[in-house]
Amino acid sequence: MAWFLVVIAGFFETAFAILLKQSETFTRLWPTVGFAACALISFGLLTWALRGLEIGPAYAVWTGLGTAGTAIVGMAMLGETVSVLKLVSISLVLCGIVGLNLSGVTP
């Protein structure tokens, strides 16, 4: 259950990063409200998950999913450039997350 919460928190981290960009320095109301809500939900879920997880791996998964998700959404929906290097780098981030969890560091 705790890992599920970390994954969902990672999706909300992606959402708050995208909405932060959309808020245009907090000058647009609804993206700013969405950013604040997603940030609170993301941090809340991560905090809840940390009751049963080690901080290092959980934080790595949370930030890794947020990073990869934000980059993917940026390329797929916001017109950011797509390159082989970006796609390989996203893959390496995700491989690092999987490797960290397969290494037996977490219960």
| Span 37-81, pLDDT tens digits | 999 999 999 999 999 998 888 999 999 999 999 999 999 999 999
**Which pTM value belongs to this model?**
0.88
Q: What pLDDT, in 10s, does the model give residues 5-48?
A: 999 999 999 999 999 999 999 999 999 999 999 999 999 999 99
Q: How many domains does the chain have?
A: 1
Distance CA 104, CA 30 (A): 42
Nearest 5 degrees, angle CA 100-CA 69-CA 62?
40
Number of other CB atoms surrounding residue 87 within 10 Å: 13
Residue 106, pLDDT > 70, answer no
Residue 61 within any structural domain of the chain: yes
Inside any domain, residue 107: no
Whether 34 maps to a domain, the answer reads: yes
Q: What amino acid is encoded at 101 in this protein?
A: N
Contacts with 88 (C-beta within 8 Å, 6 or more apart), sequence order: none
Tell me what pLDDT residue 105 has.
Answer: 58
Residue 45 lies in a domain: yes
Q: How far is CA 99 from the centre of its chain?
A: 17
107 pLDDT more than 70: no
Which pLDDT belongs to residue 3?
A: 92
* 42 belongs to a structural domain: yes
Domain of 33 in residue numbering reads as 2-102
